[in-house]
Structure 1
Amino acid sequence: MWRLRASSISKETPMFIGHITQRQFCAALSPQLQRLIDEVLERIATPLPTGKHELQGDSAFFLVMEDHTQPLALRRSECHARYLDVQILLQGRERFGYSLAPFNGLDEDLLATRDVAFSAQLVEERFVDLAAGDFIVFYPGQPHRPLIAVEGEGEPVRKVVIKVDKAFFE
């Protein structure tokens, strides 16, 4: 069983932010990931229902989600061991917390059953705001805190989360 350890990613682990209309400038993303993003964008051109949609079995799939952002204090930071996340905001505004360093420890470890762990033990959390059309990539092991309100009590958002197994890139 794979376990997330403090040494599992370096303090220099990057993340990536872009806009769906400027994907031609995303050379930093692997060609495989760019193709998956393109396929998802083609499929959501016609609105899809919320829920899970297959791309390549368990290796790559995406979730169409409708949710509501919340104040920072109500959101938990998470990370994944197996899957990379590409979060594409379709409607609304969303703030993300993230860290380039791993968690100092885990508060709730569900990696074996749900590929998610939660922790409040973040190192140098940073924040970025996304608007409709923006996307952000979080690599396996990278702490991130989604669905933070940009202001006030929050707002509804519609987004797509592409999940890609890290083995897909091997």
Structure 2
Amino acid sequence: MYTGHLAHLTFLSYLSPKLQSVIEIAKDKLSTPIENGKYELFGESAFMMVIEDQTQPLENRRSEIHRNYLDVQILLEGEEVFGYSLNPFTAIEEDLLADKDVAFSEQLVDEKFIKVGAGEFIIFYPGQPHRPLVATELGPASVRKAIIKVHKDFL
């Protein structure tokens, strides 16, 4: 897991050059008004989805992993809490990896939490458990974010 802010991308120099490039391109696209939808960055190797969603109480959100795609989630509006673990799932309850590159589980070991606000981003690597769209202490709220998917073979 890695976190950062779009205003301070100099710290990206420690990441893969291709991942740096993807985040820079996404930042450029997001610097002007953009509609919700899917945007290609490097074909299916790296693409971005801009969405609006609602955070929910922790108990209503499931943890997930991806096998092939790295997630870069950039908050555009609002605040969101992410749960994550440095340990793999102990079991998978819903396996959609073959069709949708996602699997869900409630079997998260040593879950930690981080709050992300507008302009900030968080990166989850393939196989890393994470729980998006958790409400802050203020309760459920609307968020707008860009989710960048980067195929592991692209990196």
TM-score, normalised with respect to structure 2: 0.97
- Consecutive unaligned residues of structure 1, counting only runs of 5 or more, are 1-14
Which residue of 2 is the match for residue 55 of structure 1?
A: 41
Which residue of 1 is the match for residue 75 of structure 2?
A: 89
Distance, in Å, in 1 between the alignment partners of 2:42 and 2:5 is: 24
Over the aligned positions, Cα root-mean-square deviation in angstroms equals 0.9
- Consecutive unaligned residues of structure 2, counting only runs of 5 or more, are none
The alpha-carbon deviation at position 55 of structure 1 amounts to 1.1
CA contact (8 A) 1:71 1:152 kept: no
Report matched runs for 1:1-170 at 5 Å: 15-169=1-155
Distance, in Å, in 2 between the alignment partners of 1:56 and 1:35 is: 10
Deviating more after overlay: 49-58 vs 104-113: 49-58
Distance, in Å, in 2 between the alignment partners of 1:69 and 1:30 is: 30
The alpha-carbon deviation at position 44 of structure 1 amounts to 1.4
The alpha-carbon deviation at position 50 of structure 1 amounts to 1.0
Q: Deviations over 1:110-146 (max 9, x none)?
A: 0000000000011110000011111000000000000
The alpha-carbon deviation at position 153 of structure 1 amounts to 3.0
Distance, in Å, in 2 between the alignment partners of 1:27 and 1:35 is: 10
Deviating more after overlay: 48-57 vs 160-169: 48-57
Task: Calculate percent identity across the aligned residue pairs.
Answer: 57
Q: Return the letter of the residue paired with 2:77.
A: Q
